[in-house]
Structures are given as C-alpha cells and as structure tokens.
Structure 1
Amino acid sequence: MADLNHLQSLLDSEAKSLHVPGAAVGVLFEGAEHVLTTGVTSVDAPVPVTGDTLFQIGSTTKTVTATAAMHLLENGRLDLDGRVRRYLPGFRLADERAAEELTVRHLLTHTGGFLGDIDDGESWDTGALAASIDAYDQLPQLFPPGTLASYNNAGFRLLGRVVEAVCGEPYEDAIRRIVLDPLGMSSSFFFPWEAVTRPHAVGHAVREEGPQVVHTWGLFRDAMAEGGLASSVRDQLRYAAFHLGAGGEAPVGAATRELMQREHVRIGVPWTGIGLPWLLEEQAGVRLVTHGGNIGNLQLSTFVLAPERGFAVTTLTNSAPGKVLGKLVTDWCLEHLLDAKPQAVRLTLREPTPEYAGSYDAGQWTFEVDEGLTARFVLRPELVAAGVEGMPDMPLALVEGCDDVTIAGDPRQAVGRFLRDDAGEIAFLHLAGRAARRIR
C-alpha cells in the first residue's frame, strides 16, 4: 500500500496554497479506513478539523434521499416507474402533460425536464417542503420528461416530498429512521441547531486578503432532500462502506445497491452516465461511482466509490477551492492506490463562431457567452444581496468536429456542450450537467 503520509503532505500543502482553511479526507482501501485532516474549522475562531467535525456535504445528500426511496421500492411502497401523481395526487407542473407523465425514475435520473435550480424558502416549519412543491406549476418546462438529463435540484426536492408522503412523516425523520440510524451515522444532521452544538466547519469566501467567514447556513428546510445533510468524514466512510457492500443489508440489499450504481441514462460530459442517482465516470479503466456537493460556494465536498476495487475516498472542505482540492486528493488516491493514473490528453480545438454567443438561463443565474466563448456567470441580484458567492468567468473553447466545449486554458477533457433544436439552431448550453436554455 502507498504511504498515506504522502497524501497528508499533499493535503496540507495544497489546502494552504488553495486557501482552503480546513478539510477532512476519508479513504477506504483494502478493508481499512483512514482519516486525514488539515487546518481549522473557522479562521475567526480557529479549532483544528478532526474526523468528527461536521461539514455540509451538499448534494451528496441526494444519494441518501435516493437510498431511502429505494428502500421504499424494496418494500413495495414505491415504484420506479410509478407516476409522481400516484403519491402526490394534487401535484402540478406548468405543463399538464409533463405533470401527468412524470415518474420517480425521472426524478432519480435528473430527466424531469422542468427548471432544476430554484429559490429556497426561508422557513424551518414542518410544512416547508410541501409548500415549496405546491409552487412547481410556476417552473418552466424546458423539455418533456425523459428527453434529456439536466442536473435537477428541484427534482430531488420533489423526491423528498414523495418519501415524506409515502412514509407519513417529515422527510428528515424518515431519513434518520431508514438510512442514518441503521448505518450508525450518529454524526449526521439536517438542522443547524443540531450542528452548532457540535464541532462543525463554517463556510469561507476567498478574498484578496485570504479566506473570510461568511455568516450564513446556506439552505432552509425545503432544500434538505437535495443537499441539506451535515456529516463527519467518519460517517461518510460508514456510508461509503455500506454502498460498497461492507455494511450489511439495511437500508437496501445488494441487488438494489448494484441497480443504483448501474447506468440508467447516458449523458455525455462531464459524466459518462447517471445511475440512481450516482454520477458515473471512468478513469484509466476503473469504473467510478461519484457525487459531490456545493453549499453556496462556501462548503464543497467530493465522494467517489470504485465498487469493483472496494475503494472509496471523500473530501470535505470549507471554501470554494475545496473542489480543486478534492480532485487532487481523488486523483492521488486513484493513481497511487489503484494504479489508475489519468491519461494525458489534449483535445483538438476549433475557432468559435458568433452563433454560440448569447444568454443561457439556468434559473438562479445566466451564462452570458460572448463571441470569444467566454462564459460569464451572472447571479440573480437577490442572490447576490443574500451573500451567495458567484463564479469567475469561464473561458471556453470548441472541440474540433462537434459542439462540445472544454476549458480554453486546459483542454484535456470536454466539460459541456451546446445543444441544437430540430432546426439546427443553438438552444441550450449544457454545462456542469445542467441544460441552460438560450434566451437571447
């Protein structure tokens, strides 16, 4: 086995260089768990990160929601191809036909077709999730259900409501009963008042003078099913062990775990496909079952399984560059533990043409793409006022022979693509797994 002291050195040096105040890494390899930490939970009140520090894991929560849904499927209380209206009879979308056809499978595979990035409420009441779903008839329907995969937070909010309705109890109670308690995840919580009484990380924005604490929790109760879990790296390793088949048969059995990890939708870049709802990749011949999370660009996480190798790695961080740090940690592990070094590839590029320039609406932000193919990330003003961190401009480049795009300064892999309508006109920018509709 490779010396994990080298990984600890990389974690320490790269976290400092990238301005990540604190991080926790969990590695499961050859049946042994390893926890590595660096830095502090907060630059304002520095406390060392430990294996028990709580981080907001963001969208990896979607896999927890899905695990509960698949438990209900195993017990005959939910059907993958059951229509959402079977479980929520009054459910509405802007498009009546879409509302009638929408199934649980569409929600799990990000193929519901309605706008996926929507506003959070500001309530912690028990009815917050149901109230949010009641407003889905105001969401634009971008394409019919099942037509295209586009990463959909709103779909998982809806799936959480289905779990809630089928179980007859609040979403958070159902998840604790079905998933967290059976797996011994006693350091995983949904509510801020549960987290703040325990060691926890806070989110940071990186300014010229360095990381600065941002005084926000990030999500309200209606968004718990899509990204609301706070968890420790030790609990994340328990969760990883279960999905690798080393944690018993509860909450779901081996056949169901394998079904969740199988490709159900082929999506193209940035993933090879989507499971239920795992995001599927491959590196140097090793199949990867992945997810990750981002809470307002303040706390970012990665979660990677290699099921055939009994391997997992997760990285929890408390600033936006944590995404880069997580990839560095993951790549180091894949290369040094699994002998899966990424291959050096340089894509052939072509010159942009004016047809790609325009505004592409993703709901909470737009991508403003100029004729040089630089995409400017423009948040809605109310989100800026709420302290949500934006993203830097993204210089893109077209890949020769197609409408795929890559990062102009680092053309090693495609990161998205432009999609055309039946008339051959550019209709969507599909970037980071999301289809942003062209509005200009």
Structure 2
Amino acid sequence: MKLVVALVAGMVAVAAAASQHAAPSQPDPSGPRTAASGPSRASAAPLTVSDLGNWMDPFMRDTLSKGRIAGGQVVVVKDGRTLFQRGYGYADLAAKRPMDPTRSQMRIGSTSKLFTWTAVMQLVEAGKIDLNADVNRYLDFRITPPGNRPVTMADLMTHRGGFEEGLKDVLATDPKKLKTMERYLKENRRPFMFPPGEVPSYSNYGTTLAGYIVQRVSGEPFETYVQRHILTPLQMRHTTLAQPLPPPFARTAAKGYRTTEDAPSPFELVGTGPAGQVSTTAGDMANFMIAHLADGSFGNAAILRPETVRLMHSPSLMVRDGFDTLAHGFFHGRRNGRVLLSHGGDTVVFHSDLNLLPQEGVGIFVSFNSRGEDDAVYPARERLLELFLDRYYPVAASRTPPAIPSAAADAKAIAGRYESSRRVETGFISLFYLLQQDQVTANPDGTIAVSSISDKTFREIAPKLWREVGGARQLLATEVEGRRAIIDSNNPVQILQAAPLSRNGSVFQLVAGLSLSVLIVTGIAWPITAIVRRVRQRAPGVTGQAARVRRATRIAVIANLAYFAGWCMLLAPILRADVGFYNDSLDGFIRVLQIGALIPLAGAVLGAWNSLMAFRSGEGWFARIASLIVALALIGFLWAAWMAGFIGWSVNY
C-alpha cells in the first residue's frame, strides 16, 4: 500500500508541475492583500531614485539569497522617463557575470502577450481586424466551435475562446523540434471545452492564433511585424522574438536556472510563440511601459493613437465591482484604490511581471532568471508589487464586514472539490487535472478556505459573496453550465467548477489507489503462492477451464502493471518540469500505449470471468472473496485508465 501511496503522491507532484509548466507561461493574477478602493490615508514614501534604492536593494538581495535565485532586474518608470533600473545577482553564475538591466536579455514568458495584443490593436486601428468578427475571416483553416456563436478576436483577448489547455510542442530545447507557428496551430488544434465568449479559460493556443492572424493580415512574418512596428519605434534594441537567439544576443543573454545550486537550463524555445517568445531587458521594457502610459507615444514615435490606447486599456468585459477583468489583453483591476494594468509571465526558469498605474503615470517591471528553491520566485514576485504599492500608494487597512447569518450553513453547502476551467479533459494530460483539483473547505468558524489560495480564509458578507478576512479578495458563488462555480475576484482568466462525481479527484485517487494496491499485492503473492504450493507438493485448487482462466487472470494482472509502468515512463519527465520532452517524437510510443488499452479491457473481462467461475466451482470462501477483490481491482483499474485519459486514439494532448 505504501508503494501505491508513493505513486499517488508522485502523481500529485506531477499535477502541480503541470499546473505551473504545462504552458510556456501562466500569469499569476493574484494581487496584494490590500483595500480594493478608497482614498490614500496612510503616509506615502516619496517615489524617488534614492528611496527606491534604499528599499529595493535590500529586498531584492534578501529575496535572491533566501530563495536561491540567481538574479533579477527591476525598472520603474514615471511621467515618461525611466526613474530607476537596476540588476541584482548574476546573469551567469559560473562566469560571475553580473545582471545588467540594459544588456542581459531575459525570457519574459506570457508578458510577451502584450506585444501580440498591441500588434492586434494596431491592425484594429488600421481597419484590418474587426474585434467582433469571426476569426475564420482571417485564417486559412477553420475553427469550428460548438453551437452557432463564432470565435472572435475579442474572445481571444479575453481568454474566452473556449479552448482546452494543451502541452504538446509548447516548449522545446532542440531547434529541430520547434514547429513554425502555422504548423503548431494546424497540427495541435485544441478541442473546445466551452462555447466561445462564455467561460474564461486562459489559452496560449488562442493567443498564438491571434499572432497568426497578425501575420496573415499584415502580410509580414509575425516576428518581423513586431520588430518593425513595435520594437524599432520604441528603440528596444536589446529585444528579440528570434528563437534561438541570434549570436549577438546569445552572448549577452542571462542564463536560466532552477536554483543557484543547479546548472543552467537549456534555452527554452516557445512553440506558442506569440504567447511567450520575447527575450528582452528591463531597460527595453521601460520604453514599452512608457509608450503605453503616454497614449502610445515614445519620443517622436507613436505605436498607437491615443484613442486606441484608451480603448485597449478599458475593460473588455463588465464585471461585478471589486472583481478583476481583462482590458484587451491586459489584466485590469484595482489595488490600493488605483487602476492596475498588468501581465505576468513564466517559462520553466524565467519569471516576470509588468504592472502599470495609468492614472499615476507609473510602471514597474521585474524579471528573475530562476525558479528558486520551493518555487520561491512566485511569492517574491507578488510580495514585490504588494510592498511597492503599500509604500508609495498606501491605503488604510480594510475591515472585513461581518458574516451574514447563513454563513456557516452556506460554507458547508459550497464545500467540495472543484476543477479549474483551464484544464484538459482529453488525452493523458487530463490525469494531472484530476489530481490537482481545488478543495474548498468549510471551517468551524463559518469561513471557507480554498486549497490553491494559501493562508487565506473567506467570510460570507452577502449572499453568495465571500470576502477575504483582513483583505479585499472576493469569491462569488454562482452557476456555470449547470454546475456550481466560484469566481475569484483576482483571477479573470479562469473559474472553479464543482467536480461531478464522475470527475471527482478524491474518488479517482481512492479507486486508482486501491486498485493498484490489490494488483501489486496480487502480482507479488501469486508467484510466492505457486512456489510454496510446489515445494509442499500441493495439488492446484482448480483444474480444467477454471485453471486456465485463473492463469490468464494472473497474466492480466502482471500485464496491467506493465501497462501502468509504461504510462509512468511517459509521465515522469513532468516531475522534472521537462515540458520540452513532449513532441511528435513520442507519437509512436503513445500509439503503443493506446493499443495497450486492450490489456486493462481484457483484464477486467478475465477478472470478472475468473470470479464467476470461483463462485460456481465450490471453492472456499477465501478463494471466492480473493477472486472478487481481484476482479473489482481490474475493473477499477480499467475505469481509472479511462478517467486518466490513457484510453483513446489522439496524439494531440
């Protein structure tokens, strides 16, 4: 049983890795625990170079040291100029090359999307793209969603295209394995999980589709378009979309690390290019932020008209007060009473975050070249923004309103397992999403906790509205597509949906764990029993057809374990966050495993047949019960294989 527990624990670790690595980047839109609105009443520090240095320098040095992060870059802009930029730690640990915010290129992951959305808005401004038109108008292949509602560019910009998540060909380290954008989109089409325009589900595929539309509409390769129309006007001379890096950039680029104790990771090639392919410096990102804060202008150049910038920065969707939304690609919310436009980005080893305060004319960008020990970069990145806002734009602490009378009963009603709308339901990657479901817990004091929102509890302050105790974050209980759902005020790109019994992760782990336990014990016990029987010269318990069926059932048990081991070999690289492992070269092995689905199917039939014959043969109750347990384990394993996505015929995952 311990072996099975270890296997299940390993799978949960895989699921956590998949959650963070299954795409070249995934923004973490959770904001600081501060008041959502209200005038500044606390004393603000002066936003000056000296004060930024006095605060930022010790924070960054302490963050790098404690988190075992190799290096980082920070830049702050204000009123159309770069106010502060500094590098910390190392761009190359072995060579002791310091991090240079003007020369050390960093991979910025999904923060790259802002360049794609800026390019889209340029073409909207030119009348070449209609945000509300069917995207098929601009494509040379068809997107066919369920129902009559087409996918629009506006849907792609708000991550409401309806696509499932995907892993295959998302990252690579070998340039020969990197597909062109066109090949990726056509060969790795993602199934639809939701009708377009209805449910938020963060999608790198959708952003890549938008980049392909930019390429087709403009008549220029996507990388060339961004270079000519964004990077060159903004004088971003140390920025490139090229993969791999051109030699001049390769010599100056920062190396990426898991932690300071590890060797540098290979350069990450992003298959979903428009969703995460930019390499840049903090100094260059300052120019990008200045342009967005100055109505599209930088010096004598303009990348967008003022009215287009205002449109781009305005909410694309109206939401409940206090809840974040999307603004034509930007995350749009309020922190410390200020409008905040933001976008984070992650590859496996590089992590960045861009935040704009448009009403204050201020922007801050940070980038790290390590994941850090125990994923230290994620809380560090959030903490940096939280402290920046509290220092320079503070507000008085908010007070959580009292709970409504039905809070305790409502907490019990909302408790249970939930799955993110950003998930996979087809293919073997769906296993990870079964294992990483959220657990909503009702606490004895009537508050609730959500497993993915650590160290926070929520109190029901109005019917179906829960607010963070001591903070501003809110959860709204609602219904989506006939299922109970939870909307997080800080996360506009996904929701939580109550997991039905058929997809309940706890049920899956229980059935899979017990089934594997029985099969492992049986696989070990039967050979031992046979040896003991032979040594003691005992006659077999059954003969004839019953004996043959029993022998076949034993073979099926071993075959099922071998089949499971094959899938473990395929899934193991995710434990190392080796996302680049998953590409077309695995298709043959996956096909073999898919054909191998005949093994659990045959095993379930043989197990049931063997148990039936045991009950009919007049054997002792021990033998009958043992055969029944084995039969149930084989049937349970078949069900688990089906739920895990092991049974199917698609190599698109």
TM-score normalised according to structure 1 size: 0.82
Shift of the 294–271 alpha-carbon distance from structure 1 to 2, 3 Å rule, reads farther
| 1:216 Cα deviation from its structure 2 partner | 3.4
Take 2:399 and 2:176, find their aligned partners in 1: how far apart are those partners?
Answer: 48
Q: Quick one: which of 382, 385, 388 aligns to 1:330?
A: 385
Where does 1:164-183 land on structure 2 (aligned, <5 Å)?
164-183=215-234
Take 1:270 and 1:254, find their aligned partners in 2: how far apart are those partners?
Answer: 27
Q: Quick one: which of 406, 411, 414 aligns to 2:473?
A: 414
Take 2:358 and 2:252, find their aligned partners in 1: how far apart are those partners?
Answer: 31
Shift of the 357–240 alpha-carbon distance from structure 1 to 2, 3 Å rule, reads same
Matched residue type, 1:49: M
| 1:65 Cα deviation from its structure 2 partner | 0.4
Matched residue type, 1:5: G
Matched residue type, 1:362: R
Where does 1:82-161 land on structure 2 (aligned, <5 Å)?
82-93=133-144, 95=146, 97-98=148-149, 101-121=150-170, 122=172, 128-135=180-187, 137-139=189-191, 141-161=192-212
Determine if contact 1:126/1:170 at 8 Å carries over to the other structure. Answer: no
CA offsets per residue over residues 378-408 of structure 1, 9 Å max, x none? xxxxxxxxxxxxxxx957755425667788x
Shift of the 234–213 alpha-carbon distance from structure 1 to 2, 3 Å rule, reads same
Matched, 1:368 2:420: no
CA offsets per residue over residues 305-345 of structure 1, 9 Å max, x none? 111111111111122333333333333333333x3347355
Q: What is residue 381 of structure 1 aligned with on the other side?
A: none
Matched residue type, 1:357: R
Matched, 1:279 2:279: no
Determine if contact 2:151/2:196 at 8 Å carries over to the other structure. Answer: yes
Consecutive unaligned residues of structure 2, counting only runs of 5 or more, are: 1-45, 443-448, 505-653
Q: Quick one: which of 264, 287, 298 aligns to 1:238?
A: 287
Where does 1:281-360 land on structure 2 (aligned, <5 Å)?
281-296=333-348, 298-320=349-371, 321-337=376-392, 339-341=393-395, 343-344=397-398, 351=411, 356-357=416-417, 360=420
Shift of the 217–346 alpha-carbon distance from structure 1 to 2, 3 Å rule, reads farther
Shift of the 157–346 alpha-carbon distance from structure 1 to 2, 3 Å rule, reads same
Shift of the 171–340 alpha-carbon distance from structure 1 to 2, 3 Å rule, reads same
Determine if contact 1:156/1:226 at 8 Å carries over to the other structure. Answer: yes
Q: What is residue 110 of structure 2 aligned with on the other side?
A: 59
* Deviating more after overlay: 273-282 vs 28-37: 28-37
| 1:214 Cα deviation from its structure 2 partner | 5.3
| 1:67 Cα deviation from its structure 2 partner | 0.8
Shift of the 271–239 alpha-carbon distance from structure 1 to 2, 3 Å rule, reads farther
Where does 1:218-229 land on structure 2 (aligned, <5 Å)?
218-220=268-270, 222-229=271-278
| 1:158 Cα deviation from its structure 2 partner | 0.6
Q: What is residue 385 of structure 1 aligned with on the other side?
A: none
Matched residue type, 2:52: L
Q: What is residue 252 of structure 2 aligned with on the other side?
A: 199
| 1:14 Cα deviation from its structure 2 partner | 2.7
TM-score normalised according to structure 2 size: 0.57
Higher share in strand: 1
SS at match of 2:341: strand
SS at match of 1:335: helix
Matched residue type, 1:144: P
Determine if contact 1:120/1:219 at 8 Å carries over to the other structure. Answer: no
Take 1:323 and 1:342, find their aligned partners in 2: how far apart are those partners?
Answer: 26
* Deviating more after overlay: 240-249 vs 153-162: 240-249
SS at match of 1:186: coil
Determine if contact 1:55/1:232 at 8 Å carries over to the other structure. Answer: yes
Determine if contact 2:145/2:196 at 8 Å carries over to the other structure. Answer: no
SS at match of 2:85: strand
SS at match of 1:145: coil
Q: What is residue 212 of structure 1 aligned with on the other side?
A: 262
CA offsets per residue over residues 89-140 of structure 1, 9 Å max, x none? 4222453645xx111111112121222454335566896211222246541x
Determine if contact 1:109/1:277 at 8 Å carries over to the other structure. Answer: yes
Aligned residues: 413
Determine if contact 2:147/2:195 at 8 Å carries over to the other structure. Answer: no
Take 1:278 and 1:256, find their aligned partners in 2: how far apart are those partners?
Answer: 14
Q: What is residue 534 of structure 2 aligned with on the other side?
A: none
Matched residue type, 2:365: T
* Deviating more after overlay: 165-174 vs 306-315: 165-174
Take 1:18 and 1:88, find their aligned partners in 2: how far apart are those partners?
Answer: 45
| 1:291 Cα deviation from its structure 2 partner | 1.0
Larger Rg: 2
CA offsets per residue over residues 141-160 of structure 1, 9 Å max, x none? 22222213332222101101
| 1:268 Cα deviation from its structure 2 partner | 6.4
Determine if contact 1:362/1:435 at 8 Å carries over to the other structure. Answer: no
Consecutive unaligned residues of structure 1, counting only runs of 5 or more, are: 378-392
Shift of the 130–354 alpha-carbon distance from structure 1 to 2, 3 Å rule, reads same
Take 1:405 and 1:59, find their aligned partners in 2: how far apart are those partners?
Answer: 30
Backbone CA RMSD of aligned residues: 3.3
Higher share in helix: 2
Matched residue type, 2:354: F
Take 1:25 and 1:12, find their aligned partners in 2: how far apart are those partners?
Answer: 12
* Deviating more after overlay: 74-83 vs 349-358: 349-358
CA offsets per residue over residues 342-368 of structure 1, 9 Å max, x none? 735558686556852255571364223
Take 1:327 and 1:369, find their aligned partners in 2: how far apart are those partners?
Answer: 21
| 1:87 Cα deviation from its structure 2 partner | 0.4
Take 1:362 and 1:182, find their aligned partners in 2: how far apart are those partners?
Answer: 38
Shift of the 252–403 alpha-carbon distance from structure 1 to 2, 3 Å rule, reads same
* Deviating more after overlay: 195-204 vs 366-375: 366-375
Take 1:187 and 1:215, find their aligned partners in 2: how far apart are those partners?
Answer: 21
